[in-house]
Structure 1
Amino acid sequence: MGGARRWSWRDAWSWLGLNLGRRAGLVAAVGLLLTIVLGLGVTLLRFQTSNASYLNANDPAQIDNHRYEHYFGGDLIVTMFTMDRGFTVNDLFTPANVAAFERVQAALHKDPSVFSVMTPLDAVTLADRLLAEPPGSVDPTATVAFHLLFSALQREPSAKGKAVLSAYLASSLGQLDRVPPDARQLADPAWVEVLLHNPNGTLRAASEAFFPNDGHAAMFIFLKGHQTIAQESAAARTVSRIIDATHFQHARTLVTGVPELLRTINDYLTGGFITLGAIAALVMAVILLLLFTVRWRLLPFAIVAVGLVWAFGLTGYFHIPLTLGSIASLPVLLGVGMDYAIQLHSRVEEEVVLDRAAHPIQATARNLGPALLVVTFDCVFAFVSLAFSKVPMVRQFGWLLVVGIVAVCVFSIFGTLAVLGVREYRSPTRGRDFSRGFLSRLAVRLGKVSPRAAVPLILISGVILVGGVAVEGHLKMETDPIQWIDPSAPTVRAMHEVRAGIGSDNYFQVLVSTDHPYSDQTVDFVDQLSRQLFARFPHELYLGSGMVNLVSELTDLPGVQPVPPTGAQVREVASLAPPDIRRTLVANGGHELGIVFEAKTATLEPLTPVVDDILHDVHPPKGIQATPGGIALVGVGLIDNLQASRSLLTYLAVLFVGLFLAVRLRSVWRSLLSLVPVVIAVGIVALATWALGVQLSPMTAVSGPLVVAVCTEFTSLMLLRFVEERARGLDPAAAMASTASRTGRAFMVSGLTAVAGIAVIASSSWPLLRGFGVVVGLNVAIALVCALVVLPPILVWAERNCRNVVSRGLTAAVQETPRTGGRPPSSPAPSRQPVVDPHAEPAVPLSRILTGVRDD
């Protein structure tokens, strides 16, 4: 008897490999129970696509938007009225249509998600009140509208401006005289013509938001703020149902807006999530059937299917919400989990067929189990980098992947070893030498690059990395939300039609808070702010709409210097405004004023300087504050945060994985060697994206860490298998040849399934997901090729010329006796013969393992 040595982790893996198959009944019962319990967690999964998913609660943009929505509501639904041929907006207010507007407004107010409903009827009603003569008076100049014009005339500083105003007053009186007093009803198109048009026939600026041209009108439904996607989706359905069920004479309607967009996203989340997973599963099953030449070829698929139940069950129990980015998690977890199961399955048959191992399940667990833990932590540390994102939904996506990859890894190891343990005990595999198969020979051929090319390859990888970093700041992101979803979706067609009809479907809002409601100072500031923003950003914004703007626009005439209205005038007009207009533009007794700008741009990025201008270049008087708000502000903040963190997350993932490998492999050099293919893949895709001018989608902000995770999985497994072959006494070249021939099949099949699992997203009809699938799939494919082509010569060169830097210090931990059935890859395959019972007692007594010592 020799001296006692302490129990090691490799002994634990041996014990695990023995008992998973030997106690199959108990393992199956426990596994089934855990699967049922964790499966119940899937019912707790919730989709979340609200503003809370896009920005942190303490983000200034989120705070400003939260405050705006508190006073003036949240997202906007727009209903566009398109007049029939031969009719104009003057014909929209028939008695039947007026009744229809009133019914629609009353019905929508019953929906608890609706904040306000501003109809075209509200707009003409206000105009009618402004031109209404006081009771008992027949003097048209006594109306509020003419009082505003006379006030502007008195305050107009220039003689030219006074002349223009005087002429406009005279022509306006003539316009009124053409409609008899008893005909001044909304049912009369001639009176509506007066309400909506200037004497020269142009549409009045004060009503332009509702009537952008003679052929179209708009109705605005603001939903309450701080709602979930489910609430907004339900509200969007209610609005569509009510509008579609209402007939308007001489016009057809079209409903669209952000809530409609969110409803489309929600429907795709609930349906597309399953569809993409099913497509990925089908593609992977085909790859396994065609290329994975083992018994029970679809076993990895079944193993991963149960692993995904564990993954998403734990996600539900941890209350990690699903977002749009979560769609990408299913193919990623499928691909990585499939790799685990394929590697284990292939290794078991390698131990049986090639090495005639006495205990193949134990040998597989002992030799491959530790490596799979290493690559699992590779993935975990890569995904943890997503926790440093400024965007909540990216962080939630990261934690979903962390929980999911651990669950998939655990079940892939336990499930595969247990099932194959039972199979090998009852029906031992009698396969042929797969190391001479097509995939293995291809892997050997790909890795035959001369070791002398190692240094140039390392230098090239550095150049590629530097180049990729250099162009990162020049990559463009698609910021038009409509371009993110299926272009054939009805929502997209509707938004395009609305843009063509009324000029915009994108809105930007500003909240002005004042300690002095309806003061001249407050009104003057709001008026100047609106004009200033419009002057500075003429290609991004139309002139703002608000209570102050509405009064100011009543006297805005070409050739007349703008004169802000007085606070008293704004208060008077506000008192005449229909309730929904007043509620949408004025709150808290006039302390809060809202300004709504229609955006000329459909994309979010051009609005960034507008936000910056309000935050940094607008200096209101004491007691007044101006802050941006609305969904456009949230979108701008989201894009800014995604762009700022895109490259950071990638390099954090590389750093975290590199540090982990340096500690786990006890060598900085081994860590750096593992990362060479990764940086090549990341750099090449960045350069290609820049050179081709491809616009990235917001989801590509999370692609970097995914690529790092999947790529380091390949490289770490290859490096550790190379070390294992070196521990058996093979020289570097022979060790690499043995690694390629024995693992080539598993690497090729698992690589293809990983690429397919991710690239299947490219089959999505949504550009947002399709671009992500293409970019990430291309990254992974390049990394797989680099792992098979670039890494082998580098490992061989480093081992030969740097004093065994790859294996030094690790071979003792994986020291193996020479293979009893092994032979060089070029030797003939052994004849078939029965294998030893895989569940025979291990060479190390179980009691010794549990007590921590054993006999040498």
Structure 2
Amino acid sequence: MVVRTVDPGETIGRFIKNHYVFIIVMAVLLLILAMVSAQKIYMATGIETFVFKDSQIYKDIEYYTENFQATNFLILITTDDVFSPDVLEAMRLLDSQIRVNPKVQNVTGLYTILDRYSSGGIVNSAQAERIISLLPGEATRFLVPGKHHTIMSVLLRGDLEEAEKPAILEDVKSAIRWVPMPAGSSARVTGETAMMLEIQDEMMRSMSIMLASAVIMMIIALWFTFSHSKWRLLPLPIVLVGVIFTGGIMGITGVPLTMVSMAVFPILIGLGVEYAIQFQNRMMEELADGKAPGDAVVATVKNIGPPVAYSVMTCLLGFLSILASPVPMIYDFGLMCMIGVAVCFLSALFLLLSVLVLLSSKAGRIQHKVEQRGVIEKVIERVAETTTRHPVIVIFALVAMIAGYALDPTIGVEIDQSSFAPQDLPSVVLFRSLTNIMDVKTTDMIVQVKAHDVTAPDTVRWMQNFSLYEKSNNPDVLAVSSLNTLMASYNDGVVPDTGPEIQAVLDRIPWEEQRRYIDDYRTTSIITMTINDLPTDQQMSMLRRVERDLSFLSPPAGISATLSGQSRVMLTTLGSLTSDRLQMTLASGLLVLIGLLIVYRGDWVRSVVPVIAVVIVTGLSCIVMIILHMKYTPLSVTLGALTIGIGIDFSILHMERYYEEKAKGFPPLEAMRIATAKIGNAIFSSASTVIAGFGALVMSNFSILSNFGLVTIIDFILALCSAFVIMPPLLVTLDTWWSKVRGVKV
């Protein structure tokens, strides 16, 4: 009895043939559901984009933020004389208007200090200036950075949700518009919190521009590269449906939109259209051969389904290594790329082919133009033929790759989100102006200390020893402040040493001042080290040094001390960007290699050659970044994985056609020449759609996206060149050698 093997492609094709109307209806219903779910997508630019919420690091930083780091808006007052009674009165009126909002905890400014020290009120500027001059500089430097500028601070309640802050910001802006300022004076909201909220709004506008650019560029690419096909623009709306499905999944699963995940949608448009073209092109060929629409779709899925599925598989395997990143925004980017690629593939497979069955059933006989061999094919054929006869070019490429990786450590790293945003954004410009006005040349490094009682003698002694060690051994530490320095200021400069002495001093210190350094339960305290404002790489070295010092001067049993706040975030994120990017690329190449070995059933030549061809590109990418003076960001660290996952497709398609021609009896050199001549334009067209998708990123006004888009386009052009320059000589050389080793006639 003969057992008939069931072909999965044929089975899927028959399902589409028999249920194409049902598939279209279900797609419409799912589209509506996805559009509703996509409304739940929210923007994220906070700590949760750098550290996972379920990690101890996040919990420590969150506790520090809630207890020691106030969330506030700053109001920059610019005037001829900040001590003018008219200006002070305007600030008091502004204060009263802002306090109306119950979500505002406190409002402070120059006027609050002056009102505290002047019982009869401020009569003139000279009186106000005299009062300020008698106070310690530390108490007034922030509020009065100069005679023409003063700062009001709007402290928000600690229990606020992130989603509530934009409304409060609008209320503060409304209060500023309502309160008249004296002639020659102005008031503007600034500060990091306000800046990040405006950046979030700009992110939504930028994403709309990117998506519109992706659609326009894809229309152009399809119009010229897919002109031989009927309904040449159909792949685009089908893929857009897949993109909306992906957005719906983001909404349902709670994946936020960050500066990194913004890049997902243009990328999916480029990749999805590539898959859709493969299916539609084959469907048109089957229809042109005279097959009925139902039979054509079965033949299409059976013949082209497996190669496209393999392409999707290598892409997913390439992206899989991104999920190993400890940085949430990078992990989310990799996850949504993988989900999106799978969804767009399924949309092309089921929805596109169902629509084509429906359209072709009503269109009558389909005429499918055969592409004529043009200039592109001739150039590609000549290049591949030349390099195949001179395989030494592979050696040069490998040397260039090694040089690129050797230079990789010299490429800088950037994680400051304000530097990723448009530098002409009003909030960014104003924040930069505020920094210049404040003349800030330092930054703070936070050490978080936890114990059963942080006011116990053992804890106080350890904090004192650690503070003295850092001040005397670390030249970049300018000052150290903690509960110890606070107690010393109330105890004639002496830090109390015994339990009763400590308690006696604490009894004399107002709780508001203690609260700067200890929490309500006395289980957590912070040490603030003021350091020089160093470049990113030097800051990283400084953080690692302090972390080593914490290990060297480890606190007694029952007490723990770790970096916290922005310092801890920087250490975690920068550490990932500097060490994990090469591991990510290596893991991506290894996963793809394993996948190909499984698909090709252990044929190492077929598996290794395309991997080598695309890994060479990842090394050249390092050189490209150096030439363009670019730094690694949370997005560009994924370049290696993306290049391998997507770029390897070009080499695989070329290689498969080589083996197809070789199976017809052509010798290796001739088989490669014929394969290149036949498939060159198809690969070029496929690459153009992918590049068009990434090209939309270049249109973004966020440098993290535009720079990434530019480098990625160059990488894919290099991957395309590698498929025709590096892969042919490498494949022919290894295939010929291995055939001789096995005793197979070439």
Give the TM-score range, shorter chain.
Answer: 0.7 to 0.9
Q: 1:538 to 1:484 in 2, by over 3 A?
A: farther
The answer to whether structure 1 residue 336 and structure 2 residue 326 are counterparts is no
- What does residue 48 of structure 1 align with? 44
Q: 1:615 to 1:791 in 2, by over 3 A?
A: closer
1:376: how far off? 0.8
The answer to whether structure 1 residue 277 and structure 2 residue 211 are counterparts is yes
- Separation in 2 of the partners of 1:280 and 1:316? 22
Farther off after superposition, 630-639 or 388-397: 630-639
Question: What do the CA deviations read for 1:269-309 (whole angstroms, capped 9, x no partner)?
Answer: 33322221111111111111123222221122122122223
1:210 partner letter: L
- What does residue 151 of structure 2 align with? 218
Corresponding pairs, count: 729
- Separation in 2 of the partners of 1:47 and 1:801? 55
- What does residue 150 of structure 1 align with? none
- What does residue 197 of structure 2 align with? 263
2:150 partner letter: A
- Separation in 1 of the partners of 2:215 and 2:209? 10
The answer to whether structure 1 residue 103 and structure 2 residue 89 are counterparts is no
Question: What do the CA deviations read for 1:156-200 (whole angstroms, capped 9, x no partner)?
Answer: xxxxxxxxxxxxxxxxxxxxxxxxxx98755554454444225xx
CA contact (8 A) 1:229 1:266 kept: no
- The one of 146, 156, 163 equivalent to 1:230 is 163
Could you tell me the TM-score, scaled by structure 1's length?
Answer: 0.75
Farther off after superposition, 695-704 or 390-399: 695-704
- The one of 643, 651, 661 equivalent to 2:578 is 643
- What does residue 300 of structure 1 align with? 235
Q: 1:344 to 1:221 in 2, by over 3 A?
A: same
1:700: how far off? 0.8
Q: Which of 1 and 2 has higher RCO (CA within 8 Å, sep 6+)?
A: 1
Q: 1:252 to 1:538 in 2, by over 3 A?
A: farther
2:235 partner letter: P
- What does residue 144 of structure 1 align with? none
- Separation in 1 of the partners of 2:153 and 2:490? 21
- SS of residue matched to 2:386: coil
The answer to whether structure 1 residue 601 and structure 2 residue 601 are counterparts is no
Question: What do the CA deviations read for 1:6-27 (whole angstroms, capped 9, x no partner)?
Answer: 3143xx4245445635654344
CA contact (8 A) 1:604 1:635 kept: no
1:627: how far off? 4.4
Q: 1:225 to 1:91 in 2, by over 3 A?
A: same
The answer to whether structure 1 residue 453 and structure 2 residue 390 are counterparts is yes
Q: 1:479 to 1:421 in 2, by over 3 A?
A: closer
Farther off after superposition, 766-775 or 45-54: 45-54
- The one of 39, 51, 64 equivalent to 1:68 is 64
- What does residue 377 of structure 1 align with? 313
- What does residue 78 of structure 1 align with? 74
Rg comparison, structure with higher value: 1
5+ long unaligned stretches in structure 1 = 129-181, 557-561, 809-856
Could you tell me the TM-score, scaled by structure 2's length?
Answer: 0.85
1:120 partner letter: L
Matches within 5 A, 1:110-121: 110-111=102-103, 117-121=107-111
- SS of residue matched to 1:449: helix
- The one of 715, 726, 731 equivalent to 1:779 is 715
1:443: how far off? 4.1
Q: 1:383 to 1:589 in 2, by over 3 A?
A: closer
Question: What do the CA deviations read for 1:384-407 (whole angstroms, capped 9, x no partner)?
Answer: 111110112221222211211111
1:709 partner letter: G
- What does residue 467 of structure 1 align with? 403
- What does residue 826 of structure 1 align with? none
Q: 1:800 to 1:99 in 2, by over 3 A?
A: closer
CA contact (8 A) 1:465 1:683 kept: yes
- What does residue 21 of structure 2 align with? 25
1:751: how far off? 0.6
Matches within 5 A, 1:579-658: 584=516, 587-588=519-520, 601=533, 605-617=537-549, 619=553, 627-658=562-593
1:715 partner letter: S
Farther off after superposition, 694-703 or 22-31: 22-31
1:316 partner letter: G
- What does residue 325 of structure 2 align with? 389
- Separation in 2 of the partners of 1:555 and 1:196? 25
CA contact (8 A) 1:678 1:712 kept: yes
1:246: how far off? 4.0
1:673: how far off? 0.8
CA contact (8 A) 2:285 2:368 kept: no
CA contact (8 A) 1:93 1:121 kept: no
1:238: how far off? 3.9
- Separation in 2 of the partners of 1:254 and 1:551? 37
CA contact (8 A) 1:325 1:393 kept: yes
Farther off after superposition, 659-668 or 585-594: 585-594
- What does residue 172 of structure 1 align with? none
Question: What do the CA deviations read for 1:764-802 (whole angstroms, capped 9, x no partner)?
Answer: 111111111112221112111211332234334444443
- Separation in 2 of the partners of 1:549 and 1:239? 36
1:717: how far off? 2.6
The answer to whether structure 1 residue 659 and structure 2 residue 563 are counterparts is no
Matches within 5 A, 1:649-798: 649-666=584-601, 667-691=603-627, 693-798=629-734
1:639 partner letter: L
Question: What do the CA deviations read for 1:540-569 (whole angstroms, capped 9, x no partner)?
Answer: x7646777767878999xxxxx76699689
1:729: how far off? 4.8
- What does residue 223 of structure 2 align with? 289
- Separation in 2 of the partners of 1:596 and 1:785? 53
- What does residue 414 of structure 2 align with? 478
- Separation in 2 of the partners of 1:232 and 1:804? 71
1:573: how far off? 7.0
- SS of residue matched to 1:407: helix
CA contact (8 A) 1:518 1:570 kept: no
Q: 1:344 to 1:216 in 2, by over 3 A?
A: same
1:320 partner letter: V
1:470: how far off? 2.0
- Separation in 2 of the partners of 1:489 and 1:256? 12
- Separation in 1 of the partners of 2:186 and 2:403? 54
1:439: how far off? 4.2
- Separation in 2 of the partners of 1:234 and 1:392? 27
Matches within 5 A, 1:568-583: 571=506, 574-575=509-510
Q: 1:18 to 1:744 in 2, by over 3 A?
A: farther
- The one of 255, 262, 283 equivalent to 1:320 is 255
- The one of 373, 381, 386 equivalent to 1:444 is 381
Farther off after superposition, 389-398 or 21-30: 21-30
- SS of residue matched to 1:218: strand
- Separation in 2 of the partners of 1:685 and 1:448? 25
1:70 partner letter: E
1:644: how far off? 2.5
Q: 1:742 to 1:764 in 2, by over 3 A?
A: same
| Identical pairs, percent | 22
1:211: how far off? 3.2
- Separation in 2 of the partners of 1:582 and 1:116? 18
The answer to whether structure 1 residue 13 and structure 2 residue 9 are counterparts is yes
- SS of residue matched to 2:739: coil
1:735: how far off? 4.1
Question: What do the CA deviations read for 1:83-109 (whole angstroms, capped 9, x no partner)?
Answer: x23x2x54479762563365266346x
CA contact (8 A) 2:481 2:527 kept: yes
1:348: how far off? 3.7
- Separation in 1 of the partners of 2:75 and 2:468? 27
- Separation in 1 of the partners of 2:465 and 2:317? 52
Question: What do the CA deviations read for 1:362-390 (whole angstroms, capped 9, x no partner)?
Answer: 44332221111111111111121111101
- SS of residue matched to 2:413: coil
1:724: how far off? 3.6
